[in-house]
Chains A and B, each alone.
Chain A
Amino acid sequence: MEKITLELAYLYPTLLNIYGDKGNVLTLLYRCNAREIVLNITTIGLNESIDYERFDIYFMGGGQDQEQIIVSEDLQAKKNMIKSAIDSDAVFLGICGGYQLLGLYYKTNKGLELKGLEILDLYTIGGTKRMIGNVLCKELESNETIVGFENHSGRTYLGSSLKPLAKVIRGNGNNGEDGFEGVRYKNVFGTYLHGSLLPKNHMLADKIIKLALERKGFKMPEIVLDDLIESTAHKKACKLQY
């Protein structure tokens, strides 16, 4: 039987890779391989076009303001492709900068306004205080815990049509005000949590793989993985102080 293949587009791996972002891609790769799914990874950088019909999963990490300025400009040329991908239910995981840039704009604390992809009705305002620490939250859809580390000065506000990814139990989340973290829309996941996110939240990694498979009409293979290290790391991280 031929193996199932998934295609992942890794957006700006050299520009947006500030907090162990590639750990998320490594996790997807490992957990696909363990289930005998082939995961092909294609990097997409500046001035490179995206064939939106080809990719099942998109990943975009975070960077410093200067890199985000460069990416913000470049993304305008990719906007239609990414929008088509998201509209056709491709899975998209955006972390920190990758999350902010899915929205309308990011206004830095120096007053510079970076244009977003304008796919999600959310915006970000740069604050003067950085929100730094271990976060514990609960995913709204599943009520499962999600752990991660946040380090951002941007405060993100969701429009009324959007749902957050999780409810914050410990930490600041989107803006430190409304008690929610991230965004969840179609098959899009946006979040401030890195550290890396997916290795320690393997349920979320599996959910991403499952959504990508189902979109192509496949079922998640019924192979049980040994997740002792993952679940122990997750449980330990749940107890970390902010």
Chain B
Amino acid sequence: MNKLLFLLSLWLAKLISCLISILHIGQASNFPGKIALKIKKDLIKYFNINSSCKIILVTGTNGKSTTCGLLANILKVSGFNVIFNKSGANLLSGIASMFCHHSTLFGKLKYDYIVLEVDEATLPLLTSQIKPHFIAITNFFRDQLDRFGELDATVKLIEKGIDQIQDCTLILNADDYRVAFIKATSTNTRIYYGLEYHTSEDSHNKEVSWQSDPQEITTCPKCSNPLTFSSKSLAHLGNYKCNKCTLEKPLPNYLLTNIQSDHLTINFDIVSLSFTNNKNNFFLPMIGTFNLYNAACAISIAKTITNITNVQIQKGLQTYSTIFGRGEKITIHNKTAWIYLIKNPTGTTEVLRTLVKIPNARFLIAINDNFADGRDVSWLWDSRFDILSKHKKDIYVSGKRAYDMALRLKYADYDINKIKVNERIKDSVKEAVGALQEDEILYILPTYTVLLEMQRKGLCKNVDKA
């Protein structure tokens, strides 16, 4: 009976997926799975995955999509047969859609690796149905508190998800103490990655304390006393220890050092016993410390799961075409624009800090407050939009909460005459692109559902694959 219901739901999902693609009514990344789950709510359990296939889950607040994209690309260029959930479809419906899409008519999935980015709250729901071999956790920042309640609750959800499985290797960001000290039974092997950053805390936060970067509270996970930091790479990530008890940052198995970046790329070395060479130099064709963390996570996973060469890793990094909205290059009316998804204070602050350094950059910021964006827009006030206060050009503002965004810029001392509000994204993009000078590049910073809308309206159809 179970098997029959499973097959029915699978076939229905496949049919819906076909229809969506024939009728060109958007991507079939969530809807088919959503319907299939209505028929068989534990559908994912029934897929017949070949025994040699390794399942890798990536969760955490920021960087899930990019980490999965980089990892899948590294594995693909190394000749493996890999599937992963694209477009941030990281809830059960998205994962079910992807399984249905890639399986045979009888639910068989035959791959070397299945890489899944998993929403924090979805992790326990997923690990009760399939057994992953590896779980990577990127970081914990406040995000969508209207959904999760509090950050502590998010961490507990992940711990619950890990608790349901044994003999799983955890790949953890050593620089984020909440991640590094996540509770798990001792049967789980722990692999750590981290960055060696020499910028001191002070140089990052010169400003008045209350106006500084969005910070998470950093208290020792063992004794609850405040942690001290000898350096920070971004927000609360860095070298920490507790002065009261013995807790300190775990020694990373993969340490990124000699980090050097320009407008377009980041160069770095990896120090690790897993590499045979002493010096392992790589470059990442992306910008921002947040992307370096994503690369660090992806490389650590790749090295942990299979014996991969430096050349394969570099090739994977180099040929990676950025995924949906995470630094995606598009062409609109023959002009170039880049899309950077924004969704929470730290991610937004890092994107702004990175982009503001680019000469001839112009900005369009579009904020929606649908469920997937977070219905509460208070995160705009924790994001450092004051980074843009010295920007000389007009800033275009759009989305359902365009006026809240405009107000945020106004109170960041941005000249109100240079804030151009148009709630309709299509019109706003048109205006912004129309105003671009020959040598200028538009940076579009949308929240998730604005991005989906842009795609639906054909605004980012011309994805530049180059």
Which A residues have a C-beta under 8 Å from some C-beta of B? 10, 13-15, 17-23, 25-27, 30, 41, 43, 63-67, 70, 130, 132-134, 149, 151, 153, 194-196, 199-200, 226, 229-230, 232-233, 236-237, 240
A132 / chain B contacts, CB cutoff of 8 Å: 146, 375-376
Residue contact A64 to B210, C-beta cutoff 8 Å = no
B152 / chain A contacts, CB cutoff of 8 Å: 64-66
In the complex, how many residue pairs between chain A and chain B have their CB atoms under 8 Å apart?
111
**Contacts A151-B376, A195-B378, A229-B403; is A18 near B411 (CB within 8 Å)?**
no
Residue contact B407 to A199, C-beta cutoff 8 Å = yes
B410 at the interface (CB under 8 A from A): yes
By secondary structure, the A interface counts as mixed
| 9 additional A-B residue pairs with CB within 8 Å, beyond A13-B209, A14-B209, A22-B210 | A18-B145, A23-B378, A23-B381, A23-B408, A65-B152, A195-B378, A226-B416, A229-B419, A230-B407
Please measure, in the bound complex, the distance between the C-alpha atom of A153 and the C-alpha atom of B153, giving whole angstroms: 13
Residue contact A30 to B410, C-beta cutoff 8 Å = yes
B379 at the interface (CB under 8 A from A): yes
**Contacts A65-B150, A232-B403, A233-B407; is A13 near B378 (CB within 8 Å)?**
no
| A31 → B minimal CB distance (Å) | 9
Q: Closest A-chain residue to B142, C-beta based?
A: A18
Which B residues have a C-beta under 8 Å from some C-beta of A? 142, 145-146, 149-152, 208-211, 214-215, 217, 219, 224, 369, 375-382, 401, 403-404, 406-408, 410-413, 416, 419, 421
Q: Closest B-chain residue to A63, C-beta based?
A: B217
Residue contact A15 to B217, C-beta cutoff 8 Å = yes
Q: Which of A10, A17, A30 has the most CB of B within 10 A?
A: A17
Q: Closest A-chain residue to B153, C-beta based?
A: A64
Residue contact B150 to A229, C-beta cutoff 8 Å = no
Q: Which of A10, A22, A133, A229 has the most CB of B within 10 A?
A: A229
Residue contact B378 to A19, C-beta cutoff 8 Å = yes
| B402 → A minimal CB distance (Å) | 9
A63 / chain B contacts, CB cutoff of 8 Å: 217
Residue from A70, A196, A229 in contact with B381 in the complex, judged by beta carbons closer than 8 Å: A196
Residue contact A229 to B382, C-beta cutoff 8 Å = no
**Contacts A130-B149, A194-B378; is A229 near B217 (CB within 8 Å)?**
no
Q: Closest A-chain residue to B146, C-beta based?
A: A132
Residue contact B146 to A233, C-beta cutoff 8 Å = no
Residue contact B378 to A149, C-beta cutoff 8 Å = yes
Residue contact B209 to A27, C-beta cutoff 8 Å = no
Please measure, in the bound complex, the distance between the C-alpha atom of A133 and the C-alpha atom of B146, giving whole angstroms: 8
B411 / chain A contacts, CB cutoff of 8 Å: 23, 26-27, 30, 199
Please measure, in the bound complex, the distance between the C-alpha atom of A26 and the C-alpha atom of B413, giving whole angstroms: 10
Q: Closest B-chain residue to A197, C-beta based?
A: B378
Please measure, in the bound complex, the distance between the C-alpha atom of A130 and the C-alpha atom of B413, giving whole angstroms: 35
Residue contact A233 to B150, C-beta cutoff 8 Å = no
B224 / chain A contacts, CB cutoff of 8 Å: 66
Residue contact A43 to B377, C-beta cutoff 8 Å = no
A149 / chain B contacts, CB cutoff of 8 Å: 146, 375-378
A41 / chain B contacts, CB cutoff of 8 Å: 208, 210
Please measure, in the bound complex, the distance between the C-alpha atom of A63 and the C-alpha atom of B421, giving whole angstroms: 32
| B306 → A minimal CB distance (Å) | 40
Residue contact A66 to B377, C-beta cutoff 8 Å = no
B217 / chain A contacts, CB cutoff of 8 Å: 14-15, 63-64, 66-67
Q: Closest B-chain residue to A241, C-beta based?
A: B375
Residue contact B146 to A151, C-beta cutoff 8 Å = yes
Please measure, in the bound complex, the distance between the C-alpha atom of A11 and the C-alpha atom of B407, giving whole angstroms: 24
Q: Closest B-chain residue to A46, C-beta based?
A: B226
Residue from A17, A70, A200, A233 in contact with B382 in the complex, judged by beta carbons closer than 8 Å: A17
Residue contact A199 to B408, C-beta cutoff 8 Å = yes
Residue contact B378 to A196, C-beta cutoff 8 Å = yes
